[in-house]
Amino acid sequence: MSERSRTPLLLSFAGGAAAAALVMAALAYRKFDKAN
């Protein structure tokens, strides 16, 4: 039962990390695009 309640937490954490990485990549791309 502990695994069943832990899975959604891991999935949401992975989703949040992926979203944060996507935002960071977008910001870095914009900075790089402006620099050139």
What integer pLDDT is reported at residue 11 of this predicted model? 92
**DSSP code per residue over 1-36:** -HHHHHHHHHHHHHHHHHHHHHHHHHHHHHHHHHH-
**2-36 per-residue burial string, b: 16 or more CB within 10 A, e: under 16:** eeeeeeeeeeeeeeeeeeeeeeeeeeeeeeeeeee
At 18, the amino acid letter reads A
Q: How far apart are CA 5 and CA 11, in angstroms?
A: 11
What integer pLDDT is reported at residue 16 of this predicted model? 96
Domain boundaries, given as residue ranges, for the chain: 1-36
What integer pLDDT is reported at residue 36 of this predicted model? 67
What integer pLDDT is reported at residue 26 of this predicted model? 97
What integer pLDDT is reported at residue 1 of this predicted model? 55
**pLDDT digits 0-9 by tens, 1-36:** 567 778 889 999 999 999 999 999 999 999 988 876
pTM of the full structure? 0.62
